[in-house]
């Protein structure tokens, strides 16, 4: 589905923020990229989406989506790919939306920008998507402004939008980090459910190793732009190779874990 | 056990309401009673909107409760005014959530650290350098940082500065409101270790507010679980997975992702979300999400009752 081949990303002439990074996601698979702030995990997603900010660019390697290089696409080709075949779930879907327009207006606009549907058809589709992520009372959600919804509801809207065109690849950047724990568990359950149904591939970016272990088939641990560990859940949790991963594992608080007092 | 511990703060039946309009009000804290024991940490867990930050603002004297008392060393701090209130603030200090926004970007670290001391005229300007160095050493940072600006520091370093500033006045109580939430896990662990060390050295009382029940468990002596403005469970912070009784506490525990969990099992969580505090259900605040709701739950709000020594829960189903 997606293959990243040894890419290096640099901003201007600065040292690379991501070096020799490779990744392979197959259909229906979830690959998690774990790392702390500044490790380059968001850069990976931005590189895949072709929107590295400022003068960022991929200086080495290649990114293949269904066998086709993404690095040579023109604007129109990108437009057809993004939002339909590759889509994104943000950390705070509320911040992604325009605060002055209702959720429904934005959902309809998004659908129509990518398809030839009429307003009414797009509205039907929006409602259908909103109920598929189990939002109670989708009609009311459509009329609401983003700030009127709770964080969990906004995140469900974000997931509904990201799934609207049955994308082949989902990029999720810290999709539950801004949520309360019980809501996080609900959203995670929703994403796992959706994944089973849609058979999409997913790259999950998170700083939460336990969440990565729960959701994904393969985990990549990044530090300062370099891969320090990569492997299956068991491999990462039981037999990590780098000292960094070991420290990271030890730092995850656990209910049964160590106490300092 | 409880007799020998000195209660430094007693929160007694504190309620805080905010008027939303002429006819409606939002009850952020509903009849809360909590003890803070000297030299110990009281962890407060709860989700957004449960009133945990309001409670902390009341403790700090930033807001006044609508009713109820907060007794600090025998004195009701809710009645303090003017100079007495200003003096009182030396004794309870706060560490904020986001260390990048807690400081004035154009002040040097030494000015940030010494501002509270200068404000209370505890040091002279000529002593700033030495005091800043002392405070930086206390939080395991190099004294060289004194001349830097906050933006030149990492998140973890900045949070250490936040702790150093809060401790500059040698307060008896330190309130940490989500002080580790903005940090990476490895940094988070170090900050918690630092707080625990300082607590032992200075006999500090800490109020540790956090949404992460696993983290609070690692550093608190007592755990208070809040839900929609009420304390629903207060328990000693030992083996909470075994001892927790309230269905909400259990739901919080089961929703935690940790490395010891069974990865093949579906994650367990209660359905729906907490209602808005503007729209609280009658009776038990948790009832519309509770898996075992009964008829009595809609009629009466359960009071906090003792279920074991030092362990209290507010749930009809336990009695």
The pLDDT tens digits of the residues spanning B242-260 come to 999 999 999 999 888 888 8
Contact status of A188 with chain B (Cβ, < 8 Å): yes
Strands ordered across the beta sheet of B222-227:
B92-95, B173-177, B205-210, B41-45, B222-227, B230-236, B311-313, B305-308
In chain B the domains, ranked by start, together with CATH numbers, are 7-91+171-318 (3.40.50.300)
d(CA A158, CA B257): 22
pLDDT band at residue B93, thresholds of 50, 70 and 90?
very high
* CATH topology classification for A2-92+169-251: Rossmann fold (3.40.50)
Q: Can you tell me the mean pLDDT for A174-200?
A: 85
Q: Can you tell me the mean pLDDT for A86-114?
A: 92
Lowest mean pLDDT among A68-77, B166-175, B257-266, B309-318: B257-266
Substitution target from B185, B186, B254 for chain A, most A beta carbons within 10 A: B185
How far is CA A256 from each of CA A259, B273, B302, rounded to the nearest angstrom?
A: 9, 26, 29
Q: For chain B, how many residues are written?
A: 319
How far is CA B75 from each of CA A190, B9, B84, B129, B209, rounded to the nearest angstrom?
A: 51, 9, 11, 36, 24
Q: Can you tell me the mean pLDDT for A166-195?
A: 88
Q: Is the pLDDT of residue A23 over 90?
A: yes
Positive/negative CA dihedral, A113, A117, A118, A119: negative
Q: Is the pLDDT of residue A124 over 80?
A: yes
Which chain B residues contact residue A261 at CB under 8 A? 40-41, 196, 199, 219-221, 237
- The angle subtended at Cα B31 by Cα B27 and Cα B37, nearest 5°, is 125
Quote the pLDDT of residue A194.
Answer: 81
Quote the pLDDT of residue B223.
Answer: 95
In B, residues 106-135, which contact A (CB 8 Å cutoff)? none
Quote the pLDDT of residue A201.
Answer: 92
User: At which residue do the structure tokens 């409880």 appear?
Assistant: B2
Q: Is the pLDDT of residue A252 over 70?
A: yes
* Cross-chain Cβ contact A259/B217 below 8 Å: yes
Of A223, A15, A17, A18, nearest to A7 (Cα)? A18
In A, residues 93-122, which contact B (CB 8 Å cutoff)? none
Q: Can you tell me the mean pLDDT for A55-60?
A: 91
Contact status of A228 with chain B (Cβ, < 8 Å): no
Of A104, A67, A66, nearest to A85 (Cα)? A66
Contact status of A196 with chain B (Cβ, < 8 Å): no
For chain B, strand residue ranges (E) read 7-19, 25-37, 41-45, 67-72, 75-76, 92-95, 173-177, 205-210, 222-227, 230-236, 305-308, 311-313
d(CA B25, CA B17): 6
d(CA A174, CA A91): 5
Which chain B residues contact residue A211 at CB under 8 A? 257
φ and ψ at A62, to 5 degrees? Answer: -150, 155
Q: Can you tell me the mean pLDDT for A244-260?
A: 85
Q: Is the pLDDT of residue A256 over 80?
A: no
Contact status of A233 with chain B (Cβ, < 8 Å): yes
For B211-278, strand residue ranges (E) read 222-227, 230-236
Lowest mean pLDDT among B174-178, B218-222, B275-279, B296-300: B275-279
Burial B196-215 (b: 16+ CB within 10 A, else e): bebbeeeebbbbbbbbbbbb
Contact status of A193 with chain B (Cβ, < 8 Å): no
d(CA B282, CA B275): 12
Of A186, A214, A250, Cβ closest to residue B261 = A214
Q: Can you tell me the mean pLDDT for B153-173?
A: 93
Helices B155-167 and B185-202: crossing angle in degrees, nearest 10, is: 20
Tell me the two tokens of residue A74.
């023109």
Compute the nearest-CA separation of B151 from chain A (Å).
15
* Cross-chain Cβ contact A213/B259 below 8 Å: yes
Q: Is the pLDDT of residue B236 over 80?
A: yes
d(CA B207, CA B166): 13
Quote the pLDDT of residue B1.
Answer: 44
Contact status of B217 with chain A (Cβ, < 8 Å): yes
pLDDT band at residue B4, thresholds of 50, 70 and 90?
low
**Nearest residue in A to B252, CA atom:** A182
Q: Indicate the average pLDDT of chain A.
A: 91
Quote the pLDDT of residue A197.
Answer: 83
How far is CA B90 from each of CA B121, B204, B255, B310, rounded to the nearest angstrom?
A: 12, 13, 38, 30
**Nearest residue in A to B251, CA atom:** A182
Q: Is the pLDDT of residue A243 over 70?
A: yes
Quote the pLDDT of residue B98.
Answer: 83
Contact status of A246 with chain B (Cβ, < 8 Å): no
Which chain A residues contact residue B186 at CB under 8 A? 36, 247-248, 251
Which chain A residues contact residue B251 at CB under 8 A? 182
How far is CA B318 from each of CA A35, A108, B46, B84, B311, rounded to the nearest angstrom?
A: 43, 49, 21, 44, 13
* Cross-chain Cβ contact A255/B213 below 8 Å: yes
d(CA A240, CA A243): 8
Contact status of A214 with chain B (Cβ, < 8 Å): yes
φ and ψ at B96, to 5 degrees? Answer: -90, 170
Residue A231 pairs with which residues in a beta bridge?
Answer: A219
Q: For chain A, how many residues are written?
A: 261
DSSP β-ladder status, B92-95 and B173-177: parallel
Contact status of B251 with chain A (Cβ, < 8 Å): yes
Quote the pLDDT of residue A18.
Answer: 94
Lowest mean pLDDT among A32-41, B62-71, B128-137, B261-270: B261-270
ipTM: 0.81
* % residues pLDDT > 70 (chain B): 99
The DSSP code sequence of A61-97 is EEEEETTEESTT--HHHHHHHBTTTEEEE-S-HHHHS
Quote the pLDDT of residue B13.
Answer: 94
Taking phi first (over 0 means left), then psi (-120 to 50 degrees means alpha), and beta for anything else, what does residue B53 get? alpha
Which chain A residues contact residue B184 at CB under 8 A? 36-37, 207
Positive/negative CA dihedral, A216, A222, A226, A231: negative
| Other beta carbons less than 10 A from residue B164's beta carbon | 24
Contact status of A177 with chain B (Cβ, < 8 Å): no
d(CA A168, CA A165): 9
Which chain B residues contact residue A254 at CB under 8 A? 214, 256, 258-260
* Cross-chain Cβ contact B47/A252 below 8 Å: no
Q: How far is CA A11 from the centre of its chain?
A: 22
DSSP β-ladder status, A56-65 and A68-69: antiparallel
Substitution target from A193, A254, A258 for chain B, most B beta carbons within 10 A: A254
Determine contact, residues B233/B285, Cβ cutoff 8 Å.
no
Which chain A residues contact residue B187 at CB under 8 A? 36
Q: Can you tell me the mean pLDDT for B70-92?
A: 91
d(CA A124, CA A83): 19
Of A136, A214, A249, Cβ closest to residue B263 = A214
Tell me the two tokens of residue A147.
């700030």
Q: Can you tell me the mean pLDDT for A220-242?
A: 93
Q: Is the pLDDT of residue B200 over 80?
A: yes
Contact status of B180 with chain A (Cβ, < 8 Å): no
Contact status of A157 with chain B (Cβ, < 8 Å): no
Lowest mean pLDDT among A10-14, A77-81, A89-93, A191-195: A191-195
* % residues pLDDT > 90 (chain B): 62
d(CA B296, CA B303): 13
* Cross-chain Cβ contact A185/B260 below 8 Å: no
Which chain B residues contact residue A181 at CB under 8 A? 47, 211-213, 252, 255-256
pLDDT band at residue A101, thresholds of 50, 70 and 90?
very high
Q: Is the pLDDT of residue A72 over 70?
A: yes
Q: Is the pLDDT of residue A106 over 90?
A: yes
Contact status of B279 with chain A (Cβ, < 8 Å): no
- Tell me which H or E stretch contains B74: none
* Cross-chain Cβ contact B258/A233 below 8 Å: no
* Cross-chain Cβ contact A150/B221 below 8 Å: no
CA terminus-to-terminus distance, chain A = 49
Tell me the two tokens of residue A48.
């895949």
Q: A60-63: list long-range contacts, CB under 8 Å, 24+ apart.
A: A60/A6, A60/A7, A60/A8, A60/A20, A61/A4, A61/A5, A61/A6, A61/A7, A61/A8, A61/A20, A61/A21, A61/A22, A62/A4, A62/A5, A62/A7, A63/A2, A63/A3, A63/A4, A63/A5, A63/A7
User: At which residue do the structure tokens 């906090």 appear?
Assistant: B304
């Amino acid at each position: 589905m997606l293959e990243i081949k040894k890419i290096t990303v640099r901003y201007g002439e600065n040292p690379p923020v991501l070096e020799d990074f490779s990744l392979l996601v197959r259909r229906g698979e979830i690959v998690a990229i774990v790392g702390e702030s500044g490790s380059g995990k968001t850069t990976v997603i931005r590189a895949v989406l072709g929107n590295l900010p400022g003068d960022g660019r991929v200086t080495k390697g290649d990114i293949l989506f269904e066998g086709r290089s993404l690095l040579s696409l023109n604007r129109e080709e990108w437009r057809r790919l993004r939002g339909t075949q590759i889509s994104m779930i943000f950390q705070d879907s509320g911040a992604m939306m325009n605060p002055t327009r209702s959720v429904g207006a934005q959902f309809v606009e998004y659908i129509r920008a990518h398809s030839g549907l009429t307003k009414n058809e797009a509205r039907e589709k929006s409602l259908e998507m909103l109920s598929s992520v189990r939002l109670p009372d989708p009609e009311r959600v459509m009329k609401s402004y983003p700030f009127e919804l709770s964080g969990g509801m906004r995140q469900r809207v974000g997931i509904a939008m990201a799934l609207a065109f049955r994308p082949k690849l989902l990029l999720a950047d810290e999709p539950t980090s801004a949520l309360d724990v019980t809501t996080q568990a609900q959203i995670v359950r929703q994403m796992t459910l959706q994944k089973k149904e849609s058979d999409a591939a997913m790259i999950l970016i998170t700083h939460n190793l336990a969440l990565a272990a729960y959701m994904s088939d393969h985990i990549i641990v990044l530090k300062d732009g370099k891969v320090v560990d990569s492997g299956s859940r068991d491999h990462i949790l039981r037999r990590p190779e780098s000292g960094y991963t070991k420290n990271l594992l030890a730092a995850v608080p656990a209910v049964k874990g160590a106490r300092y007092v | 056990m409880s007799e020998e511990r000195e209660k430094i703060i007693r929160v007694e039946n504190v309620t805080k309401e905010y008027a939303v309009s002429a006819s409606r009000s939002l009850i952020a804290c509903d009849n809360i009673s909590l003890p803070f024991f000297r030299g110990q940490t009281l962890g407060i867990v709860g989700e957004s909107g449960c009133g945990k930050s309001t409670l902390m603002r009341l403790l700090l004297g930033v807001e006044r409760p609508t009713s109820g008392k907060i007794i600090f060393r025998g004195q009701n701090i809710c009645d303090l005014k003017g100079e007495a209130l200003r003096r009182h603030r030396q004794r309870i200090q706060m560490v904020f959530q986001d260390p990048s926004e807690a400081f004035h970007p154009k002040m040097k670290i030494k000015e940030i650290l010494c501002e509270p001391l200068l404000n209370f005229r505890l040091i002279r300007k000529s002593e700033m350098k030495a005091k800043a160095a002392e405070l930086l050493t206390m939080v395991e940072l190099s004294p060289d940082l004194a001349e830097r600006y906050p933006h030149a520091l990492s998140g973890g370093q900045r949070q250490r500065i936040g702790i150093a500033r809060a401790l500059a006045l040698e307060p008896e109580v330190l309130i940490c409101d989500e002080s580790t939430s903005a940090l990476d896990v490895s940094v988070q662990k170090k900050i918690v270790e630092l707080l625990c060390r300082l607590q032992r050295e200075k006999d500090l009382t800490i109020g540790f507010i956090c949404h992460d029940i696993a983290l609070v468990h690692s550093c608190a002596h007592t755990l208070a679980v809040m839900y929609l403005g009420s304390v629903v469970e207060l328990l000693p912070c030992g083996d909470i997975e075994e001892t927790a009784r309230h269905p909400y506490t259990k739901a919080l525990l089961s929703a935690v992702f940790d490395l010891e969990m069974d990865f093949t099992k579906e994650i367990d969580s209660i359905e729906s979300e907490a209602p808005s505090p503007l729209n609280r259900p009658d009776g038990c605040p948790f009832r519309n999400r509770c898996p075992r709701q009964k008829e009595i739950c809609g009629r009466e709000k359960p009071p906090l009752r003792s279920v074991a020594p030092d362990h209290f829960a507010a749930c009809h189903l336990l009695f």
